[in-house]
Amino acid sequence: MSTVAVLGLGNRGKNYGGHLNKLDGVKIVSICDKYQAKIDKVKSAWKVPDDKCFTDEDKFFAQGKIADVMVIATQDRDHYGHAIKALNLGYNLLLEKPVSPDIKECLEIEKLAREKGLKVLVCHVLRYANYYRRIKQIIDSGVLGEIKLIKHDEHVSWWHFCHSYVRGNWRREEETTPMLLAKCCHDMDLLYWFAGAKCKSLSSYGELSYFTKANAPKGATATCFDCPHKDTCIFECEYQYIGRGLKRNKFPWGTYAFCTTGKKKDVAEALRNGERGKLWSRCVFGCDNDVVDCQTVNMEMENGVKIVMTANAFNEKDHRHTEIRGTKGELIADDTGSVIQLKLFDKKPKKIIVNIIPVIKGHYGGDQGITKSTADMLAGKLDPNGQYTWIKDTIESHRIVTAAEISRKNGGRKVDMTEIPDIEK
């Protein structure tokens, strides 16, 4: 029996724990979150004894090593301290992305795990989704010829962006991470993986362009409830989380950030009076957010592949769109519906539908895939030829974002990747 301790029971920790709990041969033995309501949400289903449930992380760590692996799914800037503590206790880790906004901290975690002979899987879960693995298989098969250009767009829906990056936990860079790292280290990891080479140099442009006080409608108030635009504003909090008339709510699963039940009456009460909910009832044009809402990154990889990546908040739906151009054909992929179009030159186009697992069910199967790999790791059943997101392989995505932020903050100047610290040889 493999045992698991879970630190952090937000959406990600609850999700990973839920998948692990369903696997044969895996038992969750201890959990910790600073909010008792989140502990109460899962402890019975996971059969965790009360004396192994903690709201105090110091008491949680004071138990010593009581499991084979620790899931760390806390806030971005807490990952480093928690990972170092867990590794020093002898834990293998399933570590939520991003590892850290500080590349030196990322490298310290990798080095400590290597020195102690411990394994760290980073939750770049898209590599485990059948949809993205199929794209990688097509690239590696050689049917596209030599890859010359990859264009990739991370389209964040307007309602998701407002929830997470304007009102929510990832709105301020110094408190968490830049938006490109918080949202798009997934994408940087995929692009590095698809290209089959590390980044050589890059440049980046981006800014917070829309969700600012300058764009607030006339008469807008600090919160939604007494605003004259309440009944028409698409960003109004009750519309976003509860619905308006016959129109459904835009972001129902986002309510877990401030209300564990998800019931409309409880969500409404939390938005008006809850300690956490008050954050999500603020006007989106009057928050204290500072992360970008639109950014581009242009990369040249060591093998000559050119990559253009964009991230923006101005979309109706969350989706990723990828175009891969090779000397023998092109691949057009959009994860809405998990559809891949393969267009080999002078041949009939081929449409491939990989699966229809929606993102809300776990990143197109990626969440299930990484938790299954975690269980296999503990049972010693890893495929020697398998694709896994070990920390030594996923550091590159964090190096790319580090370079992109240096470039963006310096007028888009070209950054050579030799400027960015890397894993010791």
DSSP one-letter string for 277-340: GGGGGB-TTSS---S-SEEEEEEEETTS-EEEEEEEEEESS-EEEEEEEESSEEEEEETTTTEE
User: Are 205 and 80 found together in one domain?
Assistant: no
User: Are 12 and 37 found together in one domain?
Assistant: yes
pLDDT above 90 coverage of the chain, percent: 87
User: Are 294 and 408 found together in one domain?
Assistant: yes
* Mean pLDDT of all residues in 96-112: 97
Considering the domain boundaries, does residue 425 fall inside one? no
Q: Quick check: 127 pLDDT over 70?
A: yes
Q: Quick check: 2 pLDDT over 70?
A: yes
Residue 345 belongs to domain with CATH number: 3.30.360.10
Give the CA count within 13 Å in the CB-facing half-sphere of 212.
9
* Total number of domains in the chain: 3
CA 79/CA 83 separation, integer angstroms? 6
Report the pLDDT value the prediction gives residue 356, as an integer from 0 to 100. Answer: 56
User: Are 168 and 307 found together in one domain?
Assistant: yes
* Mean pLDDT of all residues in 218-240: 95
pTM of the model: 0.94
CA 272/CA 85 separation, integer angstroms? 38
> Tokens in use for 253?
């699963």
The set of residues, in sequence order, having a beta carbon less than 8 Å from that of 82 and lying 6+ positions away, is 7, 57, 72, 74
Report the pLDDT value the prediction gives residue 18, as an integer from 0 to 100. Answer: 95
Do the beta carbons of residue 314 and residue 157 sit within 8 Å? no
* Mean pLDDT of all residues in 222-250: 92
User: Are 168 and 316 found together in one domain?
Assistant: yes
CB atoms < 10 A from the CB of 238, how many?
18
Radius of gyration of the chain (CA): 22
Q: Quick check: 359 pLDDT over 50?
A: no
Give the end of a domain, one of 125, 156, 189.
125
Q: Quick check: 137 pLDDT over 70?
A: yes
Task: Write the CA distances from 335 to 97, 137, 246, 307, 423, integer angstroms.
Answer: 20, 16, 28, 19, 32
Residue 361: band (very low, low, confident or very high) from pLDDT cuts 50, 70, 90: low
CA 244/CA 246 separation, integer angstroms? 6
User: Are 11 and 158 found together in one domain?
Assistant: no
